[in-house]
Structure 1
Amino acid sequence: MKYLKNIKYLIVALTGMMLISCDADEFLNPLPDTAIAADGFFQSDEDVLAGIYGIYDAIQGVNENRPNSTNNSTFNRGVQFEYLLTEHRSDNTRSATLEGSRADFHRYVTDANNIQSEDYYQSMYEIIFRANSVISYIDAADPANIAKYTAEAKFLRAYAYFNLVRLYGSDNDAIGGVPLVTAVAESNQDDLLFTREAKSVVYAQIVADLQEAIANLDNSYKARASKAAAQGILAKVYLSQPTPNYIGAKDLCEAIIADGSFNLQTDFNDVFYNEMNSEVMFVIRYEFAEPNESQGFSSEFTSFIRQGRQDGLNIVNPNLVAAFNENGGNRTAVSYIAFGEDAALTDPDTGLPAPQEAEVAKFLPQGTDFDNPDFPYGTNARLAGNDWIVLRYADVLLMHVEAIMAGTGAANTLDALSSFNAVRNRAGLANDADGVITQEELLLERRVELAFENQRFFDLLRFGVADTVLQNHSAEDNDEDITVYPSYNARALLLPIPSREINLSKGLLNQNPGY
């Protein structure tokens, strides 16, 4: 990670120790070798801080373009596959082909042996394991730092559990959410490691962890946990949990707004290419051309002049192009780009580009220069340095509107209109015309504002429209090049628990319905 460059030597031993888990039998709590190594490692405040940095390394993940790192079954990719599990399963994007396990997501045929889903599941539990390890040895830290180090580790644990429970957790308490492990367990505690707790129980732990983070962190960092990031993520947790806490979410968003530490970038392009800007609240950092600190997903978003290993991923769906034509404003040119013959296609009603093949532009590999025909994506697109934004201020403003709407389907207060229009105005669009923001308008605004940032699928779930929207999306009469297949059913809203985990549990871990 970029912020680790001067202290990288500190985490080599710890990271090496923790990565034993990548080859161990239990991803939830690798034992016993790592526990023995940890016992000898955590001896000082410096060691505990190195352990915290190791948690961020787990989120960052391993670039599959790193030498000797192409086997997906032996490396945790962290968040680098997340777009497959989110954007590809929404109506936003798709794969260029029908081949390979990556194409399963946009076709809604992901099974329990899908290697990218398995990697993501294991990566999130790797984050949790590292956080639990740091908490277990927190007494080695200087007393003045114990509270904030603990809060930081719990923030990261909550982040991982929030991702897991939304993607894999069943609403049926008889089946359960996901295994909830909050301490380094003994090797004989399979019941703890593989028992799925009810979704409400998992959410209660996420809330408790984030509340502790809010109480003990400040806003010193963007690439590490902060009070504001914990407030923003907790607001989203409140909106997402089985019984939403709209008042709590509203209060948290208003606390962030009132603080004044964050603001919208004037130029939408700067959100993504002026990194660590004032709109960013929590970001995962990457370093260009550094095999161990770069990411590979940016190159996979290219398809016209292919830069990645695949034929093209996260390709923009026509109905999202239509949404940009309707409501994109100046966000459109920053969000996606079309090339060749596709760039000439236009919508007959608007005269605006309506390409059938378009690439995500928010994360074009660092060094992109389309005036250079030899290296339009730079000289090393597969080792991209684009940071991954987990939370930004525009998201908080739109969550503020959602919290005020409180599930009623509309909002018309001055506060809601102020937050909503701030995002629209930055896009070059006029204020809401009639002074009433409907759920449909808010979903559309979130779709074009946060496109390709892995929010759309979760938005559809949270607003209770996922089944309807995705049914309609799958039924669209697209040509064979679009490859949107009518194989969607409600089962697809929940990913299967990876078969490998069920096998390791010796029957304790049960599968999600329909798999």
Structure 2
Amino acid sequence: MKSIIKIVFAVVLTSLVACNDFLTEYPISEVGVDNYLKNDDEIETAVIGIYSGLQDVVQQEYAILEMRSDNAGTRSGVGDWAQFESFTLITTNSVVANYWNACYSTLYRTNLVLASIENVVDPTKKQQFEAEARFVRAYIHFNLVRLFGSIPIADRKVDEGDLEGYKQVEATEIYTFVEEDLMFAIENLLSRDQITLGRANKETAETMLAKYYLKFKEYDKAKTLIQAVIDRGNFSLVTNYEDIFYQELGNEIIFPISFIDDNTDNSQSYSYYFLYEQGSHNYATDNMINLYESSPGINGEDLRYTTNIVDQRGERQGCGKFLSVSNNIRLSGNDYVHTRYTDVLLLYVEAVIGDSFQTSDATALGYFNAIRQRAGLAEIQNITSPTLAAERRKEFLYENKRWFDLDRTGNLEATITNFMNSQGLSFDKRHLLLPIPQRELDTSKGQLDQNPGY
């Protein structure tokens, strides 16, 4: 995040630490004894530590969610990174192992807060802290179950040596757990206008639960949640698409995972790895380029194309959405944009279409065309499911939504198969799930089973 980050966390609730301390209060190993937290201050510090954990979770998520789709790959096509685009993942892939570890480390932090929550004296803080922890717990489980399938459920604090904590449970149980945590979060989180940007809010939880319901074709439930976000009136589309990412903290951002320029503890490195010199991770595929160029704007290119894909050494395929201005390019402050209002509006359209092929619903068209107009595209009078999918792809390139969009709409296997075939490569549906990291299998003493085909 740019220099404006200096005021982001100035006031969180009514008594949170100063902004410069928000993400530097952790590690929690310096507070509490016997692996529990004893008072409001210690638990508040631990809540901050959850967000610090989320920073680790999203550092390399682009490899798993973008480079494994038809959106992006690598320029160099070598190393652990290339395994994602070629679907040649092995069980010792370091990116997958690091992702798993970051997820479960953050889940430990959420459950440490929840195990200590009765020690919070202030009832308002107690409600907020529990809701934040359960939101993050739901978010990570929702990702893990869609990526790995059957996984250990982190529904309690699991300490070293507790082999029961390695036990895998069926995906259906994980999904039920996610829904329960998200429902609690919705009931107890503050709205976006009541809490500083960078901490979980009600609208983020509502949007995530809406995606959950859309996955299971519960369209009315999803539409009700999305309508609640819209009706609350806390968000709007910014005029200039590029400003979403380079004039941060605008009214379109619902929930970012925040980073700070040139800060050894709270900067991110993904902007660095998107550079040509570092292998051009998230290098747009020809398929993605063709999608943009097949629908030029009224006065030229789709304006999202201009922002998202930039020239790197004579090749217009580089990621342009997170170009850092930090003094140290390895310590970038560009935020991970987890949820923004455009997503909400397009999810409304998705809920309206439901199991149908198309819609001409006036409200859905209004939302859809507002997004197209900002991109410099002409209005349309009818929205089909393929049109919606293409619009989401162009709008959210590099924002790690493509894989889950395809999964949610039931188009994942067919789309990836067709894409790989177009590259002269084959695709086996066993690769729809990631491999359980080998080091986790080795330390689980037989509690973990590898996914089929690995």
For 1:16 and 1:119, locate their aligned partners in 2 and report how far apart those are by CA, in whole Å. Answer: 24
- Check conservation: 2:185, 2:205, Cα contact below 8 A: yes
Q: 1:13 to 1:314 in 2, by over 3 A?
A: closer
Match of 1:420 in 2: 368
Q: 1:9 to 1:58 in 2, by over 3 A?
A: closer
Post-superposition Cα deviations, 1:16-55, rounded to whole Å, max 9, x if no partner, equal 68xxxxxxxxxxxxxxxxx95523xx22211111000000
Correspondence 1:327-338 to 2 at 5 A:
327=295, 329-338=302-311
Q: 1:216 to 1:8 in 2, by over 3 A?
A: closer
- Check conservation: 2:186, 2:202, Cα contact below 8 A: yes
Match of 1:313 in 2: 281
- Check conservation: 1:14, 1:38, Cα contact below 8 A: no
- Check conservation: 2:271, 2:329, Cα contact below 8 A: yes
| TM-score after normalising by structure 1 | 0.80
For 1:317 and 1:366, locate their aligned partners in 2 and report how far apart those are by CA, in whole Å. Answer: 26
Give the counterpart letter for 2:450 in structure 1: Q
Secondary structure in 2 matching 1:277? coil
Match of 2:419 in 1: 473
Q: 1:188 to 1:365 in 2, by over 3 A?
A: closer
Tell me by how many angstroms 1:262 deviates: 0.5
Secondary structure in 2 matching 1:475? helix
Q: 1:37 to 1:361 in 2, by over 3 A?
A: farther
Segment drifting more, 464-473 vs 118-127: 464-473
- Counterpart check, 1:210 vs 2:182: yes
- Check conservation: 1:327, 1:445, Cα contact below 8 A: no
Correspondence 1:380-395 to 2 at 5 A:
380-395=328-343
Give the counterpart letter for 2:100 in structure 1: Y
Secondary structure in 1 matching 2:305? helix
For 1:420 and 1:502, locate their aligned partners in 2 and report how far apart those are by CA, in whole Å. Answer: 46
- Counterpart check, 1:365 vs 2:289: no
Match of 1:481 in 2: none
Tell me by how many angstroms 1:288 deviates: 0.8
Secondary structure in 2 matching 1:382? coil
- Check conservation: 2:211, 2:408, Cα contact below 8 A: no
Tell me by how many angstroms 1:322 deviates: 1.0
- Check conservation: 1:112, 1:499, Cα contact below 8 A: yes
- Check conservation: 1:10, 1:47, Cα contact below 8 A: no
Tell me by how many angstroms 1:326 deviates: 2.6
Post-superposition Cα deviations, 1:454-478, rounded to whole Å, max 9, x if no partner, equal 011111122222222212221225x
Secondary structure in 2 matching 1:385? coil
For 2:253 and 2:439, locate their aligned partners in 1 and report how far apart those are by CA, in whole Å. Answer: 36
Secondary structure in 2 matching 1:129? helix
Tell me by how many angstroms 1:5 deviates: 4.4
Match of 1:345 in 2: none
1:399 paired residue among 329, 347, 354: 347
Aligned length: 431
For 1:513 and 1:409, locate their aligned partners in 2 and report how far apart those are by CA, in whole Å. Answer: 34
1:223 paired residue among 198, 201, 206: 198
Secondary structure in 2 matching 1:102? helix
Q: 1:392 to 1:411 in 2, by over 3 A?
A: same
Q: 1:15 to 1:253 in 2, by over 3 A?
A: farther
Match of 1:99 in 2: 78
Match of 2:247 in 1: 274
Tell me by how many angstroms 1:321 deviates: 0.8
Q: 1:472 to 1:381 in 2, by over 3 A?
A: same
Tell me by how many angstroms 1:189 deviates: 4.2
Match of 1:74 in 2: none
Tell me by how many angstroms 1:420 deviates: 1.4
Secondary structure in 2 matching 1:315? strand
Q: 1:503 to 1:419 in 2, by over 3 A?
A: same
- Check conservation: 2:65, 2:400, Cα contact below 8 A: yes
Tell me by how many angstroms 1:162 deviates: 1.1
For 2:414 and 2:179, locate their aligned partners in 1 and report how far apart those are by CA, in whole Å. Answer: 29
Correspondence 1:109-258 to 2 at 5 A:
109-144=88-123, 145-169=125-149, 177-185=150-158, 189-191=162-164, 193-219=165-191, 220-240=195-215, 243-258=216-231
- Check conservation: 2:38, 2:119, Cα contact below 8 A: yes
Correspondence 1:500-515 to 2 at 5 A:
500-515=439-454
For 2:203 and 2:145, locate their aligned partners in 1 and report how far apart those are by CA, in whole Å. Answer: 22
- Check conservation: 1:108, 1:487, Cα contact below 8 A: no
Tell me by how many angstroms 1:409 deviates: 2.5
For 2:30 and 2:283, locate their aligned partners in 1 and report how far apart those are by CA, in whole Å. Answer: 36
For 1:412 and 1:15, locate their aligned partners in 2 and report how far apart those are by CA, in whole Å. Answer: 56
Secondary structure in 1 matching 2:330? helix
Measured on the aligned residues, the alpha-carbon RMSD in Å equals 2.0
Unaligned residue ranges in structure 2 (runs of 5+): 10-17, 297-301
- Check conservation: 2:26, 2:48, Cα contact below 8 A: no
Match of 1:445 in 2: 391
Tell me by how many angstroms 1:9 deviates: 9.3
| TM-score after normalising by structure 2 | 0.90
Give the counterpart letter for 1:245 in structure 2: E
Tell me by how many angstroms 1:12 deviates: 4.0
For 1:317 and 1:459, locate their aligned partners in 2 and report how far apart those are by CA, in whole Å. Answer: 18
For 2:134 and 2:47, locate their aligned partners in 1 and report how far apart those are by CA, in whole Å. Answer: 10
Secondary structure in 2 matching 1:383? coil
For 2:403 and 2:24, locate their aligned partners in 1 and report how far apart those are by CA, in whole Å. Answer: 38
1:86 paired residue among 54, 61, 65: 65
